[in-house]
Amino acid sequence: MSNTIHKRLNALRRFMEEKGLHAFIIPSTDSHLSEYPALHWASREWISGFTGSAGTVVVTREKAGLWTDSRYFLQAASELDGTGIDLFKDGLPQTPAIDEWLASELGKGDYVGIDGNVYAAKEAFSLTHKLNIKGLHLISDYDPFDTIWHDRPEIPKNPFFVLPEKYTGEPARKKIARICDSVEKNGAESLLVASLDTIAWIFNIRGNDVKCNPVTVSYAYISRNETVLFIDPKKLSEETTDYLKAEGVTVAEYSKVYDYVSNIKTSVCLDSSKITFSLYNTIPTENRIVDIPSPADLMKSIKNEAEIQGFNNAMERDGVALVHFFMWLEKAVPKGGVTEIMIPEKLVEYRSRQDNFVGESFDTISGYGPNGAIVHYHVSPESSVEIKPEGFLLVDSGAQYFDGTTDITRTVAVGSLTEQMKKDYTMVLKGHISLATAIYPQGTRGSQLDILARKSMWDNGINYLHGTGHGIGHFLNVHEGPQSIRMNENPTTLQIGMVTSNEPGLYRAGKYGIRTENLILTQHETTTEFGDFYSFKTLTLCPIDTTPVVKEMLAKEEIIWLNEYHKFVYDRLSPLLTEEEKGWLKEKTNEI
């Protein structure tokens, strides 16, 4: 593979020389700034061989580097080996920012290229400013991969479908009306949307253009006078055409969005971090732009009653599938022959037997022993190892159902453990419970709660570098904003109806990884003279392995929570199980 990467880098450098460019920046995103792009836009993976979901490659005429976050440090180091691409560990104090590195490698007056069709406007404006200070110039006119990637996949043209209102809880025309109300309150007359999951939510449509994410490639323009969905006509059927017309939506060709935007006469609301540089610059200069977080994104994150019920129903079916899976795992590992790569296959096998199953919500992470310490470990035939009856197995998986999306991590003892393993496991559990039981005032941000999940580890000089919680879409992307729970500041407050993950972890490189993840729903807890207070309701239904728990490390309240959670799991799942399965689940949910 490294020889292939060298050839691709050389092709890019020849392109750069032809265009007078001294460096080129390749982000992970597509024309819709998606976390997981369709294969047509997988340019960063193609040029580098790095398969993680987050990272930016920078290529000069002599050097190349990949900037990625802590989730992928170990994976990137392995995948970049021999490619000539250096790893820059983003977020560490000693790691230079991309603009700083470019300034040290290039001369004043040199030109840095980006493809403005896949680069966020907000980031491009910031980059332009930083490069100008250093005497460098930004050029955004070229997509080199149209030239050098000879077998580049086409933009997907898969048909989409309408998600029934029994699942969505609200018709598209009412969502559009709510969006218009919010946009006008913010001083604009229209909303421009490029985010695929937001478009899918607004119009109550779903697709399969992106692996694991049920979205369809499209743009949207929303106003009182006209709402337009820009989409390839090959994606339309008679049913979907009639549906959109009935909801008051005009359909235009996907490729016409630039022409349309260049001629709009209204003030425009948009989020420059979610619109590409090229599309942003297409808006007529005389039009007023209201650059704020998209009101539609916030609406999408606050689930209605039908969506919440869908999550609850999906969790029950997912919980049954997980009982089947963990029963199999417990019997199979001691017999030998079970490998990491078998885990995703078995999970799909058991989940696919459940009603409303559509597919995986992301590629399963199944890390045994040292591989569990790679936060977003991607198992392959080359990396897969046998799971032996000793140590920890970390399994992070999820499913898409028509009525909800799941995301769950369990770390299980598949055999004997050291005392250090048990202590580490219990510290993670303490952090998980602390966040799950939080009561907090209205207006609280996720960054204010993040410490709850980390304190037991911080007290022992231990930390994890990934976020503690991300939003979850409703039969949509497994990673959804705008809310999060992490150390980094995020101005979005946690609001009633938001579904977020709770996933603290601990990773000892070369030894093992531990993570415990449930999904939690923000709900009203109480109202006092000091205002409204919120809490979390845990939605996920799966036992937490108590084998590694050091009970003496848990406070009384923590033991109560664990026992009550396990009773909750048993009560919800047992009516759906056989007698043998009930017996297994009863044992796994016994009080400690």
Rg (CA), the chain: 24
Say whether both 307 and 290 belong to one domain: no
Is residue 1 included in any domain, yes or no? yes
Q: What are phi and psi of 177, to 5 degrees?
A: -65, -40
Is residue 354 included in any domain, yes or no? yes
Is residue 141 included in any domain, yes or no? yes
Is residue 559 included in any domain, yes or no? yes
Residue 529's contacts (CB-CB under 8 Å, 6 or more residues apart) are: none
pLDDT at 72: 85
Domain range enclosing 338: 302-587
Say whether both 388 and 445 belong to one domain: yes
**Domain-terminating residue out of 87, 113, 148:** 148
Is residue 237 included in any domain, yes or no? yes
pLDDT at 75: 85
pLDDT at 53: 84
CA gap 501, 217 in Å, rounded: 26
Residue 362, judged by CB atoms within 10 A of its CB (0-12, 13-18, 19+), counts as buried
CA gap 222, 299 in Å, rounded: 15
CA gap 82, 369 in Å, rounded: 25
**Domain-terminating residue out of 232, 266, 300:** 300
Question: Token pair 């219990």 is at which residue?
Answer: 426
| Secondary structure (3-state) at 528 | strand
Say whether both 9 and 137 belong to one domain: yes
Which residues are registered as beta bridge partners of 23? Answer: 60, 112
Say whether both 97 and 111 belong to one domain: yes
Is residue 64 included in any domain, yes or no? yes
Which residues are registered as beta bridge partners of 161? Answer: 206
In sign, the C-alpha dihedral spanning 347, 352, 353, 356 is positive
The domain spanning residue 282 has which CATH number? 3.40.350.10
Residue 8: CB atoms within 10 Å:
19
Say whether both 212 and 262 belong to one domain: yes
Instruction: Look up residue 394 and give its two tokens.
Output: 């970390």
Say whether both 394 and 541 belong to one domain: yes
pLDDT at 73: 86
Say whether both 218 and 113 belong to one domain: no
The domain spanning residue 518 has which CATH number? 3.90.230.10
Cα–Cα distances in angstroms (integers) from residue 114 to residues 37, 83, 97, 124, 343, in the given order: 17, 22, 16, 9, 39
Say whether both 292 and 430 belong to one domain: no
For residue 116, which of 27, 15, 178 has the smallest C-alpha distance?
A: 27
Q: What are phi and psi of 347, to 5 degrees?
A: -65, -45
Residue 40: CB atoms within 10 Å:
17
CA gap 229, 323 in Å, rounded: 42
pLDDT at 526: 98
Instruction: Look up residue 497 and give its two tokens.
Output: 């109806």
Mind listing the pLDDT tens digit for each residue in 371-390?
Answer: 999 888 889 898 999 999 99
Residue 456: CB atoms within 10 Å:
22
Concatenate the DSSP letters of all residues of 115-156 into one string: BTTSSBHHHHHHHHHHHHHTT-EEE-B--THHHH-TTPPPPP
Is residue 156 included in any domain, yes or no? no
CA gap 293, 270 in Å, rounded: 7
Say whether both 79 and 100 belong to one domain: yes
Indicate the angle between helix axes 579-588 and 556-573, nearest 10 degrees.
Answer: 170
Say whether both 269 and 233 belong to one domain: yes
Say whether both 206 and 349 belong to one domain: no
Which pLDDT tens digits describe the chain residue by residue (592 residues)? 678 999 999 999 999 999 999 999 999 999 999 988 999 999 999 999 999 888 999 999 999 999 998 888 888 898 999 999 999 999 889 999 999 999 999 999 999 999 999 999 999 999 999 999 999 999 999 999 999 999 999 999 999 999 999 999 999 999 999 999 999 999 999 999 999 999 999 999 999 999 999 999 999 999 999 999 999 999 999 999 999 999 999 999 999 999 999 999 999 999 999 999 999 999 999 999 999 999 999 999 999 999 999 999 999 999 999 999 999 999 999 999 999 999 999 999 999 999 999 999 999 999 999 999 988 888 989 899 999 999 999 999 999 999 999 999 999 999 999 999 999 999 999 999 999 999 999 999 999 999 999 999 999 999 999 999 999 999 999 999 999 999 999 999 999 999 999 999 999 999 999 999 999 999 999 999 999 999 999 999 999 999 999 999 999 999 999 999 999 999 999 999 999 999 999 999 999 9
Please provide the size of the chain in residues. 592
Is residue 153 included in any domain, yes or no? no
- Asked if 508 contacts 424 with a C-beta cutoff of 8 angstroms, the reply is yes
Which residues are registered as beta bridge partners of 141? Answer: 115
Instruction: Look up residue 521 and give its two tokens.
Output: 């729903």
pLDDT at 376: 84
CA gap 193, 122 in Å, rounded: 15
- Asked if 539 contacts 519 with a C-beta cutoff of 8 angstroms, the reply is yes
Mind listing the pLDDT tens digit for each residue in 497-522?
Answer: 999 999 999 999 999 999 999 999 99
Say whether both 271 and 309 belong to one domain: no
pTM over 0.75: yes
